[in-house]
Amino acid sequence: MSETAPRPTLEAVAERAGVSRATVSRVVNGAHGVRDALAERVRRAVEELGYVPNQAARSLVTRRHQAVAVVAAEPETRVFADPYFAQQLRGISKELTAHDNQLVLLLTEGREDHARVGRYLAGGHVDGALVFSLHLHDPLPGLVRSAGVPTVFGGRPDWDDGRDDVTYVDSDNRGGARSAVHHLAGLGRTRIAHITGPLDQTSAADRLEGFRDVRADADPRLIARGDFTSGGGERAMRELLDRCPGLDAVFAANDLTAAGALRVLRERGRRVPDDVAVVGFDDMLPVAEETDPPLTTVRQDIEGMGRLMARLLLRGLDRTTPDDAEAPPPAPPGVILPTTLVHRATA
Amino acid sequence: MSETAPRPTLEAVAERAGVSRATVSRVVNGAHGVRDALAERVRRAVEELGYVPNQAARSLVTRRHQAVAVVAAEPETRVFADPYFAQQLRGISKELTAHDNQLVLLLTEGREDHARVGRYLAGGHVDGALVFSLHLHDPLPGLVRSAGVPTVFGGRPDWDDGRDDVTYVDSDNRGGARSAVHHLAGLGRTRIAHITGPLDQTSAADRLEGFRDVRADADPRLIARGDFTSGGGERAMRELLDRCPGLDAVFAANDLTAAGALRVLRERGRRVPDDVAVVGFDDMLPVAEETDPPLTTVRQDIEGMGRLMARLLLRGLDRTTPDDAEAPPPAPPGVILPTTLVHRATA
DNA sequence: GTGAAAGCGCTAACAA
DNA sequence: TTGTTAGCGCTTTCAC
């Protein structure tokens, strides 16, 4: 761990180039209205000195930080147990760096962390926030809102509190579910069951809605509650088999659930897909490709979601600058990304 | 996306409390040498105004940022395809927030990103860096070094370039591998095979070393090269079975590899663990628990690694302050975290 | 123990 | 087009 050498300042560059600090500043920030010859001299000086602007000094006056916070609640282990979050982060990171913004990661574990995050956000350390809010009654959204920071949500927030000025990005959980069930029906399956996720998560609720869209008249006993884990999938599958031995298809709310269901199906001697066809959701690779047989599932563009979230936020931030009250409406409140069905061997 | 309200400054707090800015500053930063009565007044004013220090202004003078960069190379998909990285991040995040430091995430995809990261690090935006360097000839370490930022590495860096002043944290890949193989041997297995990972990663190389520690005399045909993926595990397992049909145990370099091997073993009619015992590495939950049968594997404390990395870095940063050249040696160069064998059903 | 004042490095009016 | 100047909000000597 070495010492930090004193870094060159604007002043130093100015002196070396034989110009004023203002000129250097202009050149450094997208030169405009600086004679070419001078600009070139400045650029050379910058190069020679290895000058890098001091972001703290810059922020102090511009009130911009070129930084965005990503807030995620960690206890919802789903966020962490699977690569979902990582992929989302990757998308966000790409978009942010493409626009020269830094990514500040804020992970929360509970109440005490909420206070911290609220303080940080309200403290004006970042220009905006990307928030993952996957649960009903999640305190995070309210917190972020009261911090008064421009925000885009990942996943449809659950408030029906009239205010629909929230920007969010979600995948088409409902439509994806519909396509899964349609696919199953198209295979000639008539007794299609559904294993839900934890229904306090909007994604799980939406997938159930999608199932119902297609099977409005479904026997309620064909619906069993899971929890997005494979253990939950096993339990639900047993229930289902006990209640409706004649079922010939299962739409599982996610891939882990499907993996559990698959195990029980085999254990009970049901052949997949011959006796029972199975479709999952997520296309979580390490799981979907590893099941036996490989899982047919609904893929969402997770990285794309992340990228889009960042893009919408950044766009909103830019809009702030012109500050034209007459300007046409801002970012769309919610954006839903399409899903695609990935055919493998279970349906 | 609402507007940012003007936030109260130190000045405002000072005025309200009827003291000078200096006094407020003292109170806000671990008060010392301020009369209780005054301090109390100040604290109340802070509370009432909802004052939060402006970090930019503070950084400008202290040259500290209370921020640490986490640098990870993304193309090495392993980092992103599994929950490994997320868990590590969690550990880092916990430790950093416990010490009031922010986590700035820097993800890289290639050459061009390296330049960006180098610039950022050299730009003095953060107090230190946590770098994941898993590959041989990874340019990142050199980059970070030349940026002159205090750094702790995740995973043993591969340079044998004399300079062993690098601080790093790794799990005991070699010892873990030994314990896996010992376990297999303890089961009475005599023809133990090993499927390696990509040997340009130190973790894979170290696990192979561990295998060799125990089976120095192993028939070279009992070692097949994998790549940390299940597909690679399948290929290697087929090879192994073709070359040495009599093998009775396999130590796979990671869980994904083991999952692939398991599939081939079943395909070829070998019973696990009766005919062939299998041990993996990582204890990557969504995989190790989902295999059929559930995988016996070597667990590493991934979150603990993250936490430790952050702790070592922070400790190093603190040490910088006293700046006592006479002070006893700094952080240990390398710290190796123990692994534990998790018994499930494959061995 | 407390306050006054000098700057940290930069941007943004405003002059020239 | 370029330079001068006044801060941005904070910490930190240095007097008192």
Is the distance from CB of B258 to CB of B278 less than 8 angstroms?
yes
Nearest-5° angle of CA B184, CA B186, CA B187?
65
SS3 B67: strand
Q: Average pLDDT for residues A238-263, to the nearest whole number?
A: 96
Beta strand B102-108 pairing with A102-108: antiparallel
Q: Which residues of chain B from 205 to 224 reach within 8 Å of chain A, CB to CB? A: none
What pLDDT does A119 receive? 86
| Chain B residue with Cα closest to A163 | B1
Mean pLDDT score of chain B: 88
What pLDDT does A262 receive? 96
What is the Cα–Cα distance from B295 to A252, expressed in whole angstroms?
Answer: 24
What pLDDT does B30 receive? 83
Residues contacting nucleic strand D by the 7 Å CB criterion are A 18-23, 26, 33-35, 37-39, 57, 60-61; B 6, 9-11, 21-22, 25-26, 28-29, 51, 53-54, 57-58, 60-62
pLDDT tier at A5 (50, 70, 90 boundaries)?
Answer: low
Give the pair of three-digit tokens for residue A190.
Answer: 């008539």
What is the Cα–Cα distance from A241 to A268, expressed in whole angstroms?
Answer: 9
Q: pLDDT tens-digit profile of A22-34?
A: 999 999 998 778 8
Q: pLDDT tens-digit profile of A51-86?
A: 999 999 999 999 999 999 999 887 655 545 567 788
Is the distance from CB of A86 to CB of A285 less than 8 angstroms?
no
What pLDDT does A329 receive? 53
What pLDDT does B82 receive? 64
pLDDT tier at B79 (50, 70, 90 boundaries)?
Answer: very low
Q: Which of A95-104, A125-134, A229-238, B335-344 has the lowest mean pLDDT?
A: A125-134
| Chain B residue with Cα closest to A146 | B2
Mean pLDDT score of chain A: 88
- Residue B153: how many other CB atoms lie within 10 Å: 24
What is the Cα–Cα distance from A283 to A255, expressed in whole angstroms?
Answer: 7
Q: pLDDT tens-digit profile of B169-216?
A: 999 999 999 999 999 999 999 999 999 999 998 999 999 999 999 999
Could you please report the per-residue DSSP string of B10-54? HHHHHHHHTS-HHHHHHHHTT--S--HHHHHHHHHHHHHHT----
Spatial CA neighbour of B222 closest among B202, B177, B252: B252
Buried b (16+ CB within 10 A) or exposed e, A83-120: bbbbbbbbbbbbbbbeeebbbbbbbbeeeebbeebbeb
Lookup result for tokens 């609720």: A205
pLDDT at position A2 over 70: no
Say whether residue B89 is in contact with chain A using an 8 A CB cutoff.
yes
What pLDDT does B322 receive? 44
What pLDDT does A84 receive? 79
Q: How far is the CA of A9 from the C1' of C3 (A)?
A: 31
Q: pLDDT tens-digit profile of B100-158?
A: 899 999 999 888 888 889 888 988 899 999 998 777 788 888 888 888 899 999 988 87
pTM of the complete model: 0.89
The rounded Cα B157 to chain-centroid distance in angstroms is 12
